[in-house]
Amino acid sequence: MEVILIKDVDNLGGVNEVVKVKNGYARNYLLPRQLAVENSPSNRAQLEERLKQVRKKEEKMLAEINSVIAKLKEAPLKLGAKTGTSGKIFGSVTSLQISRAIREQRGYDIDRRKIQIVDEVKELGTYKATIDFGNGHNTELEFEVVAE
């Protein structure tokens, strides 16, 4: 029997996937727990409509991500830090500080956990960080540490 999975099922498949299973497994486990529906023409049409909506949503999200990436790459961010006489920073620059700088200077709210600083920042200068937007979309961000 072929069924369309509504939810992820371990060792079987993911959401919106058409799989072939034994009749008893479908009737006694998948269908009563509402993990799957029978692969009928009407259910297949609903599946295609759901997939179309998911694709449209992903395209919209991708366009938004690309606009954010373009805005972030315009110019390096400026981060202020307290320094000693030799130009060394007291402490170091963190992803939280970068997230706040993006919010203040570019107007985008990016979660600090998505920001990875490439090198350890202990002195004034220009550095790079990577931002992971998910689904394999990431970008490199340049930021400059200046004295306050």
**Domain containing residue 128: CATH number:** 3.10.430.100
Q: What is the pLDDT of residue 74?
A: 84
Q: What is the mean pLDDT of the chain?
A: 89
| Domain final residue pick, 14, 45, 66 | 66
Distance of CA 111 to the CA centre of its chain: 10
* Entry pTM: 0.66
Q: Domain check: are 61 and 90 in the same one?
A: no
What CATH number does the domain containing 24 carry? 3.40.5.10
Q: Domain check: are 76 and 55 in the same one?
A: no
Q: Domain check: are 81 and 41 in the same one?
A: no
Q: What is the average per-residue pLDDT within 96-101?
A: 90
Q: What is the average per-residue pLDDT within 26-49?
A: 93
Beta bridge mates, 18: 4
Q: Domain check: are 77 and 48 in the same one?
A: no
Q: Which H or E run contains 63?
A: helix 41-72
97 contact partners, CB below 8 Å, separation of at least 6: 79
Q: Which H or E run contains 17?
A: none
Task: For the chain, give the percent of residues with pLDDT over 90.
Answer: 44
Q: Domain check: are 62 and 74 in the same one?
A: no
Q: Domain check: are 89 and 104 in the same one?
A: yes
- The number of folded domains in the chain is 2
Query: Domain range for residue 78?
Result: 69-147
Question: What are 84's two structure tokens?
Answer: 């000693």
Question: What are 4's two structure tokens?
Answer: 């369309």
Q: Domain check: are 75 and 140 in the same one?
A: yes
d(CA 71, CA 36): 43
Q: Domain check: are 73 and 141 in the same one?
A: yes
Q: What is the pLDDT of residue 125?
A: 87
Segments in 73-116 forming alpha helices (H)? 95-105
Half-sphere exposure of 49 (CA within 13 A, CB side): 6
Q: Is the predicted pLDDT of residue 22 greater than 90, yes or no?
A: yes
Q: Domain check: are 76 and 130 in the same one?
A: yes
Q: Domain check: are 143 and 74 in the same one?
A: yes
d(CA 50, CA 58): 12
Half-sphere exposure of 48 (CA within 13 A, CB side): 7
Closest CA to 82 of 93, 71, 95, 72: 93
